[in-house]
Amino acid sequence: MKLKKIVILGSTGSIGINTLRIIERFPERFKVIGLTAYQNSKLLEKQVRKFSPRYAALDKKHIPDFQKIFGKSLKILDVETDLEFLASLPEADIVVIGMRGSAALKPFLSAVRSGKTVAPANKEALVIAGDIIMQEARRHQATIIPVDSEQSAIFQCLNGGKRDELKKVYLTASGGVLLNIPQTKFDQLSVAEILNHPRWQMGKKITVDSATLMNKGFEIIEAMRLFDLKLSEIQVLIHPEAAIHSMVEFKDGSIIAQLGITDMRLPIQYALTYPNRIETGLKALDFFKLKALTFKEPDFKKFPCLALAVDVAKKQGTLASVLNASDEQAVEAFLDGRIGFTQIYNIIEKVVSRHRVIAQPSLTQILDADRWAREETEQLIAKKR
Ligand code: MG
């Protein structure tokens, strides 16, 4: 068995932590060679002690401390400037992208251009520049194995037929914390209540995106990019039990679903061991406890962020970059208590409607749109105070 050498971008977030839990169980299969974090230097220090990577990147201000602690045994890098270098290390086999936000775009491209196997949990890079990423992946024979649970499910289901036999993808959504709460109550909920997701343990930003269903909207765009799907080939299904992580319908009417417990270690491990499967040590899905699988149509009126994302998916171009950047800023403002919950949509919608779309944008135009949207969003947030 060849030892797979792994770089984890964002090792102190929930994806990074779960990736390391898997690697720890299989030291004969995997070796960590690079870890990165921004401010959580304490956890990164523990991870470096335990996994002894060759490289670690973090915020500049923590670098002197790290140099004192680890001396020459560790190559210490700056997380702001050195991620592209780390993502393209000649000795790396797999690059796991656990970091969130559009900051992942450049290292993602760097990994792809180096022909790596890339395991992205990050959806922002695919949402804003998925066309460019997929094009470069083909050109450099990089393999992209998505870690986002729905995309992993679609990827796995597609093994059940040929790509040109695909008819439709069912993208499932648990419905988030607000599924059974009337819209009129949304603004009365505290940030902590919004963060209390019923099915998945995730970072704060994505948990708010799950409450607004913007996350599902991003996943529509992500799936379009990853699997070269038309918008009309994707059906969002609200599925509160979250047992089915997505499904693919083929031409003959056969539908293949991927089911499992809601634990991110499943899709992460699949990406690390692909095309093989090995045991996870996790408990299996219990159908007797589950009892029923239920489905509902999404309510676009109650969750306007989903409708907005669908509209953006239709228009494409730089608009996806604007949607993503505006959402990042607005959700951050909500988490800081600067705006209310329903203002998240109101603000993003204004920014999206003001944007002049550029079709088939270059990377520079995508990043310009990102910057423009952040400024525009911040101005609207400031006015709301
Ligand atoms: Mg997901």
Quickly count: other Cβ atoms within 10 Å of residue 187's Cβ: 10
Q: What's the gap in Å between 51 CA and the centre of ligand 1?
A: 28
Contact in structure between 318 and 366 (CB atoms under 8 Å): yes
Q: What's the gap in Å between 210 CA and the centre of ligand 1?
A: 9
Report pLDDT for 198. 75
Contact in structure between 276 and 283 (CB atoms under 8 Å): no
- Residues whose CB is less than 8 angstroms from the CB of residue 280 and which lie 6 or more positions away in sequence, other chains included: 22, 265, 266, 269
Report pLDDT for 39. 93
Going from N- to C-terminal start, the domains of the chain cover 4-144, 148-263+287-314, 316-385
- Residues whose CB is less than 8 angstroms from the CB of residue 80 and which lie 6 or more positions away in sequence, other chains included: 59, 60
Place of tokens 């910057």: 371
Kindly state the helix (H) or strand (E) to which residue 7 belongs, with its residue range: strand 4-9
Q: What's the gap in Å between 83 CA and the centre of ligand 1?
A: 24
4-144: CATH superfamily: NAD(P)-binding Rossmann-like Domain (3.40.50.720)
Instruction: Give the neighbor-by-neighbor strand order of the sheet with 143-144.
Output: 75-78, 55-58, 30-36, 4-9, 94-97, 117-120, 143-144
Report pLDDT for 308. 98
pLDDT tens figures, 85-143:
999 999 999 999 999 888 999 999 999 999 999 999 999 999 999 999 999 999 999 99
**pTM > 0.85: yes or no:** yes
Local structure of 333: helix, strand or coil: helix
Contact in structure between 306 and 345 (CB atoms under 8 Å): no
Q: What's the gap in Å between 104 CA and the centre of ligand 1?
A: 17
Architecture category of domain 316-385 in CATH = Orthogonal Bundle (1.10)
Q: How far is CA 333 from the centre of its chain?
A: 20
Report pLDDT for 202. 77
Q: Which residues, chain by chain, have CB under 5 Å from ion ligand 1?
A: 148-150
Query: DSSP letters along 146-184, please?
Result: --SHHHHHHHHHGGGS-GGGEEEEEEEE---TTTTS-GG
Contact in structure between 170 and 255 (CB atoms under 8 Å): yes
Q: Which of 169, 331, 311 is nearest to 245 (CA)?
A: 169
Q: How far is CA 196 from the centre of its chain?
A: 19
Place of tokens 């990050």: 122
Enumerate residue ranges in the chain where pLDDT < 50.
none
Read off the DSSP letter of residue 158: G
Report pLDDT for 385. 54
Q: What's the gap in Å between 246 CA and the centre of ligand 1?
A: 10
Distance CA 217, CA 199 (A): 18
Q: What's the gap in Å between 62 CA and the centre of ligand 1?
A: 32
Q: What's the gap in Å between 150 CA and the centre of ligand 1?
A: 5
Contact in structure between 335 and 204 (CB atoms under 8 Å): yes
Question: Amino acid identity, residue 73?
Answer: S
